[in-house]
């Protein structure tokens, strides 16, 4: 693709510049554990920090990784397991603090799919995926490579924390006999919003198909690629083998799908004509020998069907990374794990092929804001693997990890955080903006006692304006007003509240300073709010709840 080369180059140098400044004054990182796995292979656990997490923060931070925080010698990284921990090594409850993302970037290499940015070689999100390559493959690390970490730690509460990011690396030094014959892999970062540095999009309740799902980007109401850049595609630059892939979605996400497009290719898999013996219904008095021949044919036929690659035209499905929700309430929290590819998933690629990624979100339960759809994949150069048009590759893979106990705080239960705001008396008529401060929406916050918590009122057609307090702006405490279904007063947890309001609104993350904020400190409600009580919450700090009321014109 020739479009926007300059743009990508700019992005790349921007990341480098940020890296330079972020690197100044960062201290204390260490190798905290080293285990010998035999033959010189090591399991190394690194710790970065302390990270002073401020009240309610949800910031993107770039941090240089020091030489002490990565393997000092050349070798292969065969596994990578990230985490976020307290100073004593315990893992904080993810309902209070959450690892929104961590992207490890190798500044010494160029990223394959972003056309000029540095190489994003490991990505983790709130689901804390572990990368474990199939035997014989690893990410080749040079001891002199320079790493940068882009992290986003989301503090859902007012409490400050001191935390560390840890990552356990299985490392095969070049000096190990195990390194002999190993093949290095290159990250192929497939992202529906590639190469955006904050690659997010929204999906809305009720949108997409009748099945209650939306396949992004193809079912988005408006073309998300208006600039003409097909961000979900990547043209394969050399022959090689895809060896591992895993999806990343946010809450509400159901899957990512990876496809291959090859000009002129067509289905070359097994042909499975239905045997004649299965075409006719079996008579009641059919002899046993016929019955047995028929069931044998049926088994053979089913086996054949199961081996058929999913090809439509010259496009073949390579893998569906399903989100497996441990969350009892369904696909509404990050208590989940993605499915990654099987060990035998080795897909032959040719230069000139096009890889394609899509992502699916649920749209029955709620709207989902700031979603991602990424399939982090890895490719080795050279030959090998199987032709996906001939051999089915898209078998279901294993669930990446077990249930994490830090996610055991789901919310949505008693006790309530405040009264049912729909039953409260009218508050004052709104005029001046409501100031959000101290994790409260002011008059609009029904958790406040007595008259202070009554929903403020406007006549139909009028609006409410909310503004961020100077303190919150200065301390980078960003808030949203996001509609949730009334009464929206159940206990707070990772699955509650959600953006399921009957009338949809969302202010975005009010604040200034670039992504993820909307670079605004005020927000005005839509003028078409229907008559009634509208409940809302803060997507960043879900303990914050509010309500406003619209009354018919002339009734004030």
Residues that bind Cu ion (CB under 5 A): 479, 538, 540-541, 544
**Cα angle: 91, vertex 97, 98; to 5 degrees:** 85
Chain CA centroid to CA 440, Å:
28
Residue 540 C-beta: closest distance to Cu ion, Å:
4
Least spacing, CB of residue 142 vs Cu ion, in Å: 43
Distance, in Å, from the CA atom of 218 to the CA atom of 38, rounded to the nearest integer, reads: 48
Considering beta carbons, is residue 236 or 544 the nearer one to Cu ion? 544
Q: Which residue has the tokens 């229907």?
A: 530
Q: Residue 31 CB, nearest distance to Cu ion (Å)?
A: 37
CA distance 164 to 148: 16
Residue 376 or 538: the one with the smaller Cβ distance to Cu ion is 538
Number of H helices, E strands in the chain: 4, 30
Q: Which residues pair with 359 in a beta bridge?
A: 216, 256
Q: How far is the CB of 205 from Cu ion (least distance, A)?
A: 21
CB of 446 to Cu ion, least distance (A): 15
Q: Report the C-alpha gap between 480 and 464 in whole angstroms.
A: 14
Torsion on CA atoms 326, 329, 335, 337, rounded to nearest 10 = 50
- At closest approach, how far in Å is the CB of 33 from Cu ion? 36
Collapse the DSSP code of 276 into the 3-class scheme (helix H, G, I; strand E, B; otherwise coil) and give the result.
helix
Q: Considering Cα of 338, then 339, then 345, then 349, what sign does the dihedral take?
A: negative
CB of 532 within 8 A of CB of 545? no
Between 58 and 129, CB nearer to Cu ion: 58
Instruction: Compare residues 128 and 541 and give the one whose CB is closer to Cu ion.
Output: 541
Report the residue number, 168 or 367, with the smaller CB distance to Cu ion. 367
Q: Which is nearer to Cu ion, 317 or 479 (CB)?
A: 479
Q: How far is the CB of 465 from Cu ion (least distance, A)?
A: 17
CB-wise, 49 or 511, nearer to Cu ion? 511
Shortest reach from residue 370's CB to Cu ion, in Å: 14
Structure tokens at 389: 């048009």
Residues in the chain: 556
H or E, element range at 18: helix 5-23
CA distance 380 to 383: 8
Identity of the residue, 360 or 482, whose beta carbon is nearer to Cu ion in the bound complex: 482
Nearer Cβ to Cu ion (488/538): 538
Q: Provide the minimum distance between the beta carbon of 70 and Cu ion in the complex, in angstroms, as a whole number.
A: 35
Shortest Cβ distance from residue 203 to Cu ion (Å)?
Answer: 21
Shortest spacing between CB 544 and Cu ion, in angstroms: 5
C-beta closer to Cu ion: residue 179 or 540: 540
**CA–CA separation, 153 vs 160, rounded Å?**
12
Q: Which residues pair with 105 in a beta bridge?
A: 120, 148
CB nearer to Cu ion: pick between 190 and 477: 477
CB of 478 to Cu ion, least distance (A): 7
Q: Give the separation between CA 470 and CA 36, rounded to whole angstroms.
A: 53
DSSP string, 432-453: SPEEEBTTB-GGG-TTS-GGGG
In DSSP terms, 510 is beta-bridged to 479
Three-class SS of residue 67? helix
- Cβ proximity to Cu ion: between 174 and 473 the closer is 473
Where in 470-542 does DSSP place strands (E)? 482-483, 522-524, 532-537
Burial classification of residue 402, based on how many CB atoms lie within 10 Å of its CB (0-12 exposed, 13-18 middle, 19 or more buried): exposed
Which one, of 104, 101, 90, lies nearest residue 19 by Cα? Answer: 104
173 close to 74: Cβ distance less than 8 angstroms: yes
């Amino acid at each position: 693709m020739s479009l926007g080369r300059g743009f990508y180059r700019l992005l790349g140098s921007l990341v480098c510049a940020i890296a330079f400044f972020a690197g100044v004054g960062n201290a204390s990182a260490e190798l905290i554990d080293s285990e010998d796995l035999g033959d010189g292979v090591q399991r190394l656990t690194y710790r970065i920090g302390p990270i002073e997490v401020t009240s309610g923060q949800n910031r993107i931070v770039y941090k240089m990784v020091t030489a002490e925080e990565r393997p000092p010698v050349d070798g292969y990284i065969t596994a990578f397991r990230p985490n976020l921990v307290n100073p004593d090594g315990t893992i904080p409850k993810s309902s209070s603090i959450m690892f929104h993302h961590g992207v490890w970037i190798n500044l010494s290499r160029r990223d394959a799919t972003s056309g000029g940015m540095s190489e994003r070689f490991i990505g983790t999100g709130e689901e804390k995926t572990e990368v474990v390559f199939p035997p014989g493959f690893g990410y080749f690390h040079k001891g002199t490579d320079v790493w940068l970490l882009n992290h986003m730690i989301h503090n859902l509460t007012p409490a400050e924390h001191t935390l560390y990011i840890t990552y356990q690396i299985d490392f095969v030094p070049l000096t190990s006999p195990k390194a002999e014959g190993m093949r290095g892999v290159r990250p192929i970062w497939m992202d529906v919003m590639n190469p955006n540095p904050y690659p997010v999009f929204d999906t809305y309740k009720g949108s997409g198909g009748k099945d209650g799902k939306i396949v992004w980007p193809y079912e988005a109401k408006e073309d998300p690629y208006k600039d003409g850049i097909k961000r979900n595609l990547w043209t394969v630059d050399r022959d090689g083998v895809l060896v591992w892939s895993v999806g990343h979605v946010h809450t509400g996400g159901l899957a990512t799908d990876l496809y291959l497009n090859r000009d002129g290719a067509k289905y070359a898999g097994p042909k499975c004509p239905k045997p004649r013996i299965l075409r006719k219904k079996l008579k009641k008095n059919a002899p046993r020998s016929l019955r047995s021949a028929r069931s044998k044919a049926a088994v053979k036929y089913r086996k054949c069907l199961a081996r058929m690659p999913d090809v439509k035209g010259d496009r073949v499905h390579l893998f569906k990374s399903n989100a497996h929700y441990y969350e009892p309430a369904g696909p509404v929290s990050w208590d989940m794990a993605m499915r990654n590819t099987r060990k035998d998933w080795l897909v032959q690629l040719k230069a000139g092929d096009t890889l394609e990624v899509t992502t699916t979100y649920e749209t029955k339960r709620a709207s989902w804001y700031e979603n991602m759809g990424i399939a982090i994949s890895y490719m080795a150069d050279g030959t090998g693997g199987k032709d996906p048009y001939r051999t089915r590759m898209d078998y279901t893979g294993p669930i990446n990890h077990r249930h994490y106990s830090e996610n055991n705080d789901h919310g949505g239960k008693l006790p309530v955080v405040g009264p049912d705001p729909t039953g409260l008396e009218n508050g004052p008529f709104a005029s001046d903006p409501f100031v959000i401060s101290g994790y409260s929406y002011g008059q609009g916050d029904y958790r406040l006692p007595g008259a202070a918590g009554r929903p403020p009122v406007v006549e139909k057609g009028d609006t409410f304006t909310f503004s961020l307090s100077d303190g919150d702006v200065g301390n980078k405490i960003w808030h949203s007003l996001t509609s949730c279904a009334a009464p929206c007063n159940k206990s707070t947890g990772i699955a509650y509240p959600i953006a399921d309001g009957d009338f949809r609104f969302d202010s975005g993350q009010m604040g200034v300073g670039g992504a993820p904020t909307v670079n605004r400190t005020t927000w005005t409600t839509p003028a078409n709010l229907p008559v009634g009580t509208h409940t809302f919450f803060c997507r960043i700090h879900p303990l914050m709840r509010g309500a406003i009321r619209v009354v018919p014109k002339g009734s004030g």
